[in-house]
Amino acid sequence: MWAFFLNITPDHLSRHGTLEEYIEQKAKCFQNQGAQHFLIYNQNDSIVEDSCQDTLAECVPFSDVDITSEITQLEQCPGKHNHLNVVAALKVAECLGYSIPSCLQHMKNFKALKHRLEFISEIEGRRFYNDSKATNPEATLQALQSFSKKPLLILCGEDKGLDMTECLEAVIKGTQGVIVFGDIAPRIQEECSAMSASFTIAKVQTLSQAIDRSFKLSKPGDIILFSPSSSSQDHFRSFEDRGNQFVTGVAEYAKTLLV
């Protein structure tokens, strides 16, 4: 049996009550492993590393020092968080005796999952990305770090009461501005305005309005990133439904520009 412990950030606290309880539930995936099993874990994360002490499995650590130029050149796996996922997968291959160069070659044909920094289309020089799977602030923070150019960011979702300070500080420093809608919109607008009175933030009512506003606030060469930072249940059935509606909305908006 193989178990992976990649990272831990505060999330689902309404269900688990405390971060400690959340960590305990996550750790159950490897606490019942035996000596014949393997645990692949991220030693960059101190919480993960501490949690991995309580297992009989053979522990196989990885960290950002394992990220090679071959990994960063995998276009379908952008961002440091995805690079670390590749490293974790390669650790399994290494343990099983597979050739790492051969595995990297096969990864060039890997089709990334939808809603995870998924490139949608380019419209009049603007590149649209769907990252609807970003259902917490840390995920959006990781998405922002995946681009060398400051994107225009669309935020939305249900307010889970998580601390967004670090994420919003990165948003203000690392984006051209924010379009926000949904349950969390008033909080985002208030906290961003308190941090920077000059930061561009536009509050809208719907996803279609967010797409329209993002296009009008951007210019050719810009990146428009849909990375909500919150769960989808305020306006959508799931993050997949939210992402699919974004993809459809971008396509429909492109048609209006042809009229």
> Residue with structure tokens 């412990």?
5
Q: 143 with 219, same domain?
A: yes
Same structural domain, 129 and 88: no
Q: Does residue 127 share a domain with residue 244? A: yes
Assessment of whether the complete model's pTM goes beyond 0.85: no
pLDDT given at position 52: 86
pLDDT digits (tens, 9 = 90+) for 136-157: 999 999 999 999 899 999 999 9
pLDDT value of residue 202: 97
Residues 168, 252, single domain; the answer is yes
Q: At what angle are helices 185-195 and 165-174 packed, to 10 degrees?
A: 70
Give 238-257 pLDDT, tens digit per residue.
Answer: 999 999 999 999 999 999 99
Which residues in the chain land under pLDDT 70? 10-17, 259
Closest CA to 12 of 139, 197, 200: 139
Spatial distance between the Cα atoms of 217 and 6, rounded to a whole number of angstroms:
36
Return the pLDDT at 124: 97
Q: How many domains does the chain have?
A: 2
Report residue 24 as tokens: 């305990």
Same domain, 214 and 102: no
CA nearest to 253, candidates 226, 216, 199, 220: 216
**Considering the domain boundaries, does residue 54 fall inside one?**
yes
Task: Let me know whether 102 and 124 are in one domain.
Answer: no
